[in-house]
Amino acid sequence: MKNFLAIKRNVAYASILLIGFNLGCTDLGETVYDQVPQDQYGNTEGQLNTLIGPLYNGLGGYFAAFELLNCVTDEELAPTRGGDWGEPEWKFMMEHTWPTNFYGFDNMWNFIYSNIAKVNQKITNPGFQSPEAQAELRTLRAFYHYLALDNFGNVLIADENAGDTPVQSTRKEVYDYVEKELLAALPNLSTNVRAKYSRMSKYVAHMILAKLYLNAEVYTGTPQWANAIAQCDSIIQSGQFVIATDFLSTFSVNNENSQEIILSTPFDKSKRTGLYLQMSTLHYLHQQTYDLGSAPWNGYCTYAEFYDTFEDDDVRKQMWLTGQIYSSSGEALFDDTQPAILTKEIPSFKMPAGPDARLAGYRSVKYQVERGATFDMSNDFVIFRISDVYLMRGEAHQRLGHLGEAMDDVNAVRTKRGVDGFSTMTLDDILAERGRELAWEYHRRQDLIRFGKFEDAWGFKPVTQDYLRLFPIPQSQIALNPNLTQNFGYPQ
């Protein structure tokens, strides 16, 4: 009996022990230490600022999204240099035979819609309900929609009216939406361009509208030249922006104070990395020219025909690296046993290995290469600038038959660049002028399409069909989103 009692007592102790642990140890909630649940942040103005800032970090993805796709234009290509740069994308971008599952399209779509989602996530935050904050966020969101409609055409409008699953809209509907959003935002946007450097100021909204109207005929079938002129006027007449006397200063390492820039996305070699254009374009030996931390990749160059549109006196011609490659101490360098001389001509798209293949094509140093740069550069990447506005207004005037005003605007840029103004001017002259002024600034595809030249043959590219004016909706998005159908001309 005593034994039995002892057992009972032991069982009882054990049971108490078990129950005690069960009560204390079945909580499966998570405590976060180095991040914060999203509903517990954004309560102070300082916290709100740290939420807005990264939206502009996201805008920095603009460079990476466009860098690749600019190889579909007549100003940039990456030829196959022996075994180097033999990936299929460089060829299919060049000859406009891209597949719908090309990662370059994924990158562009992801850049646009992940950023739209992040804006949407902030726009309903109680801390951002002031008219100014709403206007800035709506402008940023409209900018991404503008990029989507320009690249992909028939896309999703994602805002608070779209519900949980945005449906695909026509290019015209997206055009109307972007126009409406920007016009609504304009009154509450800041005109302080220094305080809003690299952010959505009033002039950025004007600029997006100007681009929208300038390309309205492409987007909707109905031209809006006068509206384009009006938007350009708003920017130019504000007097806030000036065409720089020193052309390359707009792209220098410390270009954040340039008065030409309407919108840029700031980079820093260590604090905001991601701009490495010099790595993609420079020859291996340029490591010694600029004392770079590692040898560049020797990829992008320009077509000889494009380079030939630059007159010798044109200061913009200095953006190209040509001829002999020197070390930083001035010594002429050799590639294998042959003098390292960059050649204008690219003998064929696919070149056999050797110095000739490596040295083919002129390279861009429009963005100043910092001596001793390791990988990332500190130049801010320019999205919109004032000389573009003059050229846009000039073009719109020309198309409306205001030839005098047109020539004034175009020559206002030319005379700053060390070349004589035009005395007579055609639309083709304006396209060429835009090419010289804006080379490798990622406006070229839009310009070629607007001028009806995107289907033309150039370099190694044959004549192509006009459905290619729109990029395909990325295959991965179509597969996942039943609300999306493929653009005309592409395999459904």
Partner 1 sequence: MLKFYHIFKSMLCLLILLSPGWTLAQERTITGKVMSADDNMQLPGANILVKGSSTGTVTDSDGQFSLAIGDNTTLVVSFVGYVSQEVVITNQTNVTISLVPDATSLAEVVVVGYGTVQKKDLTGSVTNLSQKDFNAGINPNPLQAIQGKVAGLNITQPSGDPNQAPTVRLRGYTSLAGGSDPLYVVDGVIGVPINSISPSDIDKIDVLKDASASAIYGSRAANGVIMITTKRGKDGRPTISFNNYIGMESISKRLDLLNADEYRAEVTRIKGAASLSDGLKFPTDANGNGYSTDWMKQITRTGYTNNHELALAGGTSQLSYRGSLNYMKREGIVKNTDFERITGRINVDQKALNDKLQIQYNLAVTRTNSNLTNDDVINRAILFLPTLPVHNADGSYYEVPGSFDLYNPVAMQQNFKKPVATTLLVGAINAKYEVAKGLTLGVNGALQSEQSRNQEAYNVNTKAYLGMLGQVSQSYSQANNKLLELTAQYKTNFGASNNLTVLGGYSYQGFVNDGFSAMNNIGDPSLADVDLYHLYGYNNLGAYQGTLIRGQSNYVSSYKNTSALISFFGRATVNLTDKYNITATVRRDGSTKFGANNKWGTFPSLAAGWTLSNEGFLSGGRTLNYLKLRVGWGQTGNAEGISPYRSLLLYGTPPGGSTSLSYYDPTTGQFLTGVDITQNANPNLKWEILSQTNIGLDFELFDGKVTGTLEVYDKRTKDMLYNYTVPLDGKNYFTSTQLANVGEMSNKGIELSMGGDVISSDNFRWNTRVVGSVFKNMVEKLSSGDYQSGEILYNNFNGRGLGLITASQLREGHPMGEFYIPHFRGYDENGNIQYETADGGVTTDYASAKKFEKGSGIPKATVSWINSFTYKHFDFSFQLRGVFGNKIINNLRSNLTLSGSILENNMLRDIDQYPANYSIPGLSDQWLESGSFVRLDNWQLGYNIPVGGNAIKNARVYVAGNNLFVITAYKGVDPELQVKGDLGANYATPNSIGMDYSNVYPKTRSFQLGVNLTF
User: Which 323-352 residues touch partner 1, going by CB under 8 A?
Assistant: 333-334, 336-337, 350, 352
Q: Which is nearer to partner 1, 153 or 266 (CB)?
A: 266
Q: Which is nearer to partner 1, 20 or 452 (CB)?
A: 20
Q: Which is nearer to partner 1, 64 or 230 (CB)?
A: 64
Using the rule CB under 8 A, which residue among 43, 88, 226, 426 binds partner 1?
88
DSSP state of 77: B
Whether residue 411 contacts residue 446, with contact meaning beta carbons closer than 8 Å, is answered with no
Q: What are phi and psi of 350, to 5 degrees?
A: -110, 105
3-state SS class at 372: coil
Contact call for residue 92 and partner 1 (CB under 8 A): yes
Q: Which of residues 240-299 bind partner 1 (CB under 8 A)?
A: 256, 266, 268-273, 284-285, 287-288, 291, 293-295, 297-298
DSSP state of 97: -
Write the burial class of residue 150 (CB in 10 Å: 0-12 exposed, 13-18 middle, 19+ buried): buried
Q: Which of residues 366-385 bind partner 1 (CB under 8 A)?
A: 372, 374-375
Q: Sketch the per residue contact string, 15 through 44, with partner 1: x for CB under 8 A, - otherwise.
A: --xx--xx--xx-xxxxxxxxxxx--xx--
Cβ at position 82, least distance to partner 1 in Å: 5
Contact call for residue 403 and partner 1 (CB under 8 A): no
Contact call for residue 79 and partner 1 (CB under 8 A): no
Using the rule CB under 8 A, which residue among 43, 114, 130, 426 binds partner 1?
114
Whether residue 374 contacts residue 293, with contact meaning beta carbons closer than 8 Å, is answered with yes
Instruction: Give residue for tokens 């450097």.
Output: 197
Cβ at position 113, least distance to partner 1 in Å: 4
Q: Which is nearer to partner 1, 87 or 456 (CB)?
A: 87
- Strand bridging mode 334-335 / 338-339: antiparallel
Contact call for residue 95 and partner 1 (CB under 8 A): no
Using the rule CB under 8 A, which residue among 66, 105, 113, 471 binds partner 1?
113
Q: Which of residues 179-238 bind partner 1 (CB under 8 A)?
A: 194-199
Q: Which is nearer to partner 1, 291 or 311 (CB)?
A: 291
Q: Which of residues 441-460 bind partner 1 (CB under 8 A)?
A: none
Q: Which two tokens stand for residue 28?
A: 């499966």
Concatenated DSSP letters of 297-358: ----BB-HHHHTTS-TT-GGGGGEE-EE-B-TTSPBPEETTEE-EEBS----SEE-SSHHHH
Contact call for residue 314 and partner 1 (CB under 8 A): no
Using the rule CB under 8 A, which residue among 16, 44, 130, 162 binds partner 1?
162
Q: What are phi and psi of 302, to 5 degrees?
A: -115, 160
Interface stretch with partner 1, choices 85-93, 223-231, 382-390, 461-469 (CB under 8 A): 85-93
List of long-range contacts for 184-191, beta carbons under 8 Å, 24+ apart: 184/135, 184/138, 185/134, 185/135, 185/136, 185/138, 185/139, 185/142, 186/135, 187/135, 188/131, 188/132, 188/134, 188/135, 189/132, 189/135, 189/136, 189/139, 190/132, 190/136, 191/238, 191/240
3-state SS class at 457: coil
3-state SS class at 481: coil
Q: Which is nearer to partner 1, 261 or 319 (CB)?
A: 261
Buried b (16+ CB within 10 A) or exposed e, 383-401: bbbbbbbbbbbbbbbbbee
Cβ at position 13, least distance to partner 1 in Å: 9
Cβ at position 294, least distance to partner 1 in Å: 4
Cβ at position 56, least distance to partner 1 in Å: 5
Whether residue 457 contacts residue 447, with contact meaning beta carbons closer than 8 Å, is answered with no
Task: Give CA–CA dist 215/450, Å, rounded.
Answer: 6
Contact call for residue 490 and partner 1 (CB under 8 A): no
Using the rule CB under 8 A, which residue among 65, 69, 72, 116 binds partner 1?
116
Cβ at position 10, least distance to partner 1 in Å: 4
Contact call for residue 102 and partner 1 (CB under 8 A): no
Cβ at position 107, least distance to partner 1 in Å: 10
Q: Which of residues 465-484 bind partner 1 (CB under 8 A)?
A: 476-477, 479-481, 483
Q: Which is nearer to partner 1, 70 or 298 (CB)?
A: 298
Q: To the nearest 10°, report the CA torsion of 173, 59, 192, 267.
A: -160
Cβ at position 130, least distance to partner 1 in Å: 17
Interface stretch with partner 1, choices 108-116, 215-223, 434-442, 448-456 (CB under 8 A): 108-116
Q: Which is nearer to partner 1, 312 or 336 (CB)?
A: 336
Strand partners, 364: 320
- 340, 365, 329: which is closest to 284 by C-alpha? 340
Cβ at position 362, least distance to partner 1 in Å: 19
Using the rule CB under 8 A, which residue among 110, 170, 227, 318 binds partner 1?
110
| Number of residues located near partner 1, criterion CB under 8 A | 106
Cβ at position 225, least distance to partner 1 in Å: 31
Concatenated DSSP letters of 112-153: HHHHHHHHHHHHTSGGG-SHHHHHHHHHHHHHHHHHHHHHTS
Strand partners, 282: none
